[in-house]
Structure 1
Amino acid sequence: MTSHFDAVVIGAGAAGLMCAMEAGSRGKTVAVLDHADQPGRKILISGGGRANFTNLHCRPDNFLSSNPHFAKSALARFTPEDFLALVRKHRIPFHEKKLGQLFCDRSARDLLDMLLAECAEAGVQLFLGSSLSEITRPDGFHIRTSRQTFTAPALVVAAGGLSIPKIGATGIGYDIARQFGIKVIEPRAALVPLTFSARDLAQFQELSGVSTEVTASVEGQAFREKMLFTHRGLSGPAILQISSYWRQGGAIEIDFAPGEELFAPLRGRNARRDPASAEAALRSVLPQRLAARLIETAPPTGWTNAALDEAETRLHHWRFLPAGTEGFSKAEVTAGGVDTDALSARTMESRAVPGLYFIGEVVDVTGHLGGFNFQWAWASGAAAGRAL
């Protein structure tokens, strides 16, 4: 059985559903295919089940890409306010958590139901449980699946990245790009915990569960947020943010007490200067277990002002050399992907293959933690949907 549509979208996630509803609302016949048996699985688990669906302070510099300018056009033409208008239309209650992060009050299911309702109203047809078998392009696109064959003059790839394979993530989007001669920037885990080297594991593993506010830095990027020690390494928002910029073999720098002078109590007139006083000074600012471990691991080499200066500097510029990351199974997103040089920044269409579009996470555009990756899904999906 063969069905003809104006456009076929591969992937029933955030970007794919946004694209489909935009195209459908403009009179296009649209089919959305997904190998999973339910749509929007990543939407449902995001944000602890409440979906951090956008960020009020979204700017192009909240994204990393081989081409830092690529995302500007789509982001400017579909803003957080544009998405909020849709949320308000469906009377979905939401709240701002911090730093402009917006979450559903009840459940991410509200968000998915909204997208599916918009798709239904626009006449979009969903074909779930449809595994892709083959794509050919003799005259338009022929998409053969485990259920049936589809033909369309336009094909939109919204297949996501490799992150969270337990909910069905695959590299099919990259395979399609390569099939049509489009370069793929090596995908890598992003917004992901980092693992300790053997040395750091021995020194810090027992701090598992300890959390503190730090500034994490690498390659000129810095994030001041919470860091969490785990039984395998480092996590928490500061580490997830910096992980997107970290590369294997590089070090990250941690300021354990941003804006604080940790050894200030030892500098007063007639102040005691000994290990107990040093640990007490750290305990007044840092979690007790962390303070004790830092004094044990790297105590001041002496009690002169110069020695205290050196110890202070070390705690504000502590270097970790991670062994690696927790991988795609724990990564919130995938960095890298379809090379933006191959796509139109305005429409997401391939420059070399007319009618072929790539949107969302499959593209080499990765947002910071805090709702930015959803905003990229909405913006890139809207850009392609309006261009179809």
Structure 2
Amino acid sequence: MEHWDIVILGAGAAGLFCAGSAIAQGRRVLVLDHAAKPAEKIRISGGGRCNFTNIATARDRFLSANPRFAASALSRYKPADFVALVDAAGIAWHEKTQGQLFCDGKATQITDMLLNRMCGAELRLQTPIDSVERDGDGFRLRGGGVDIRTARLVVATGGKSIPKIGATGFAYDLAQQFGLRMVETRPGLVPLTFAEQDLALCKPLAGIATDARIAHGGGDFSDALLYTHRGISGPSILQISSFWKAGEELRVDLAPGTDIAAWLRDQRGQAGRTAVATILSRVLPERLAHAIADEAGLSKARLADQNNKQLDRLAARINAWTLRPVGTEGYRTAEVTLGGVDTRDLDAKTMEARSVPGLHFIGECVDVTGWLGGYNFQWAWASGHAAGQA
């Protein structure tokens, strides 16, 4: 039987970062993962550039049954701390929009940095764990040809999102095995799916992006909306998906900041002979403008021929487009998993289970989920650091 001070299950962002923080405390650290490669989510994130943090990180950018829980870890490991590591590693980066920081080069630079930071720890891949048991004041792990005893066990196996890269519900099963409570899980930051009547407009517009504002369930986002063959996606939809629940309607403003009804009245006085579709193309992508005019039966109509009531209906279709998603694309394309290990059962400073000394849960498997834009990586760094230092 092997003996280790700390075993970390999961070689993703949180697990690798935790290993680096723990090795700095002089501990003997082993990281195990069933996958063939470490940190696959880092590799594919941000279009291969890794949106590794967000300088606007604050507690209110995270969803949880206990919104205050994340504050402790986030306050003790900030975006500037991670940026300092990136700079020290010589990794070039840039700010894209809304505080999002990306690598100039490949995302794998971040993985390499994390592996170098945990130098002295041991990483074993393709090592599945079949059982975890309490063993005195520590834990015993078996599986993948190993029999290991550890004083502390850190669970960093993530959530259910993107199963094709190896995501499972292992962390949730283990938490329940040890009597921890769970907050119901569901896909987050995920494209929504729609019924045929909504798809009738979306499909011909596939590939078109436009600015949009969506406010729903406490979330309020102004960002790009993308029409696809399956409905609508893009950052604004991914963001609001974390706030939307089955059966609820969404109201989308396709011209944020513009009162379309007032604007159309003004344009009627100035350019009344112009076709409605042509006028709309001044504030919307041309194909979208023509599609909305066609939908309203105004494909060849002049603006001057429309009364105020007609203009109000047209404006409502743009400023308050109402649609009801039928679901989401599920964990297959979800960037994160909402819900997870109930934070009431964890110590906010150490991420340790209150009722199981030595057992820690970090990263995505915990009921803390960030907005789109680097927040979830910052939670991985912060929660991993908290557990690693403990």
**TM-score bracket for the superposition, by shorter chain length:** over 0.9
**Matched residue of 1:153: which SS?**
strand
Of 351, 361, 364, 1:361 maps to 364
Give the match for residue 345 of structure 1. 348
CA–CA separation in structure 1 for the residues paired with 2:218 and 2:72 = 25
Asked if the contact 1:262/1:281 (under 8 Å) is kept, the reply is no
Asked if the contact 2:216/2:243 (under 8 Å) is kept, the reply is yes
Give the match for residue 296 of structure 1. 294
Give the match for residue 219 of structure 1. 217
Give the match for residue 322 of structure 1. 325
Distance 1:295 1:23, change over 3 A: same
Of 262, 265, 269, 2:260 maps to 262
Distance 1:68 1:299, change over 3 A: farther
Asked if the contact 1:10/1:159 (under 8 Å) is kept, the reply is yes
Asked if the contact 1:194/1:239 (under 8 Å) is kept, the reply is yes
Report how far residue 283 of structure 1 moved.
Answer: 1.1
Of 315, 336, 345, 1:333 maps to 336
Asked if the contact 2:5/2:28 (under 8 Å) is kept, the reply is yes
User: Within 5 Å, which residues of 2 pair with 1:1-388?
Assistant: 2-120=1-119, 123-139=120-136, 140-263=138-261, 264-267=263-266, 270=269, 277-298=275-296, 303-387=306-390
Q: Which stretch has the larger CA shift, 111-120 or 199-208?
A: 199-208
Report how far residue 239 of structure 1 moved.
Answer: 0.5
Report how far residue 82 of structure 1 moved.
Answer: 0.8
Report how far residue 317 of structure 1 moved.
Answer: 1.2
- TM-score (norm. length: structure 2): 0.94
CA–CA separation in structure 1 for the residues paired with 2:270 and 2:335 = 48
CA–CA separation in structure 2 for the residues paired with 1:298 and 1:337 = 45
Asked if the contact 1:266/1:273 (under 8 Å) is kept, the reply is no
CA–CA separation in structure 1 for the residues paired with 2:336 and 2:201 = 30
Asked if the contact 2:265/2:308 (under 8 Å) is kept, the reply is no
CA–CA separation in structure 2 for the residues paired with 1:19 and 1:181 = 24
Asked if the contact 2:264/2:311 (under 8 Å) is kept, the reply is no
CA–CA separation in structure 2 for the residues paired with 1:343 and 1:19 = 16
Q: Deviations over 1:212-255 (max 9, x none)?
A: 00001211311100000100111111111111111111111100
CA–CA separation in structure 1 for the residues paired with 2:336 and 2:257 = 31
CA–CA separation in structure 2 for the residues paired with 1:311 and 1:347 = 54
Asked if the contact 1:257/1:285 (under 8 Å) is kept, the reply is yes
Letter in 1 for 2:45: S
Q: Deviations over 1:149-190 (max 9, x none)?
A: 111121100001111111111110111011111112121111
Report how far residue 201 of structure 1 moved.
Answer: 1.4
CA–CA separation in structure 1 for the residues paired with 2:268 and 2:104 = 53
Distance 1:77 1:194, change over 3 A: same
Asked if the contact 1:29/1:124 (under 8 Å) is kept, the reply is yes
**Matched residue of 1:379: which SS?**
helix
- TM-score (norm. length: structure 1): 0.95
**Number of residue pairs matched by the alignment:** 383
**Matched residue of 2:52: which SS?**
strand
CA–CA separation in structure 2 for the residues paired with 1:346 and 1:376 = 13
CA–CA separation in structure 2 for the residues paired with 1:238 and 1:265 = 26
Report how far residue 38 of structure 1 moved.
Answer: 1.5
Determine what percentage of the aligned residue pairs are the same residue. Answer: 51
CA–CA separation in structure 1 for the residues paired with 2:176 and 2:350 = 20
Letter in 2 for 1:340: T
Letter in 2 for 1:135: V
RMSD: 1.8
CA–CA separation in structure 2 for the residues paired with 1:382 and 1:268 = 57
Asked if the contact 1:190/1:244 (under 8 Å) is kept, the reply is yes
**Matched residue of 1:267: which SS?**
helix
Q: Deviations over 1:80-118 (max 9, x none)?
A: 011111112211111111211111111111111111011
**Matched residue of 2:236: which SS?**
helix
Distance 1:74 1:126, change over 3 A: same
Unaligned runs of 5+ in 1: none
